[in-house]
Homo-oligomer: A and B are copies of this chain.
């Protein structure tokens, strides 16, 4: 890659890294760190595309974005670790616990009661960890 490319990669990367820290906090940093020895390029893509490109777009506020993610991951039901990261992220960007619970409960209508139950239990763990940390 030429110097311009490095400059730009760096710009998208830096914007993404800042956004990832703003949204996911320490949990997001841990995900990135855990990729270092298995797929470092993928760590870079996670920072650049979801965070540098998508979350950095001004067309939708971060609170709405996290409501969308918590809903989708609850409905899909096959990515519990990521759901927990985003339940925490939703709180980080301004959702109340009550609002997070409400989004998850609503998924009973669209993805069934088991999906909603497992989402609620994930939230219970995240909230408990927060209360213990206090």
Residues of A within 8 A of B (CB): 4-5, 7-9, 11, 31, 34-35, 37-39, 41-42, 45-46, 49-50, 53-54, 57, 59-60, 64-65, 67-79, 81-82, 98-99, 101-118, 120-121, 123-124, 127
| Complexed CA–CA distance, A108 and B55 (Å) | 12
| Complexed CA–CA distance, A39 and B107 (Å) | 13
CB of B109 within 8 A of CB of A50, answer yes
Known interface pairs A60-B102, A98-B59; A78-B77 also in contact (CB < 8 Å): yes
Copies of this chain? 6
By a CB distance below 8 angstroms, the chain B residues around A9 are 8
CB of A69 within 8 A of CB of B106, answer yes
